[in-house]
Amino acid sequence: MNIPDRWVVLKIETENKTVYKVFGVWYGGYMGGNNWQLNSGVASLEVSDGCVLFHGNSGSQYLCNLQSYGLSSWGVSQLEFLIKGAVAAGSKVEVLPQSTDWSTLV
């Protein structure tokens, strides 16, 4: 199970479909570097106790604390790079707001 330090959900639209993906960031600390992951797409989710458990299309799970929604400046820079590539490939990418009703996402 993946438990990111910070996270956002992306809405990615192509000509054929719309998918939602979790972009998670982990802080490396003293001995390691920062890291990020983009899940395969949200297949289902569960909301409880201030957290959202996202189940990915690939079987991955992301347990995300609602109080940790958003990114650090490093996370934003990584996400901007990712979005530029997606837009260049013809996709439209939107970062969903923190106020999103997660229970209605999928």
Distance between start and end Cα atoms, the chain: 20
Q: Coil, helix or strand for 82?
A: helix
Strand 51-56 with 92-95, pairing? unpaired
For the stretch 5-30, pLDDT in tens is 999 999 999 989 999 999 999 998 77
Q: Give the pLDDT of residue 106.
A: 87
Q: Could you tell me the pTM of the whole model? A: 0.93
| Residues 35, 3: Cα–Cα separation, whole Å | 12
Question: How many CB atoms are closer than 10 A to CB 56?
Answer: 19
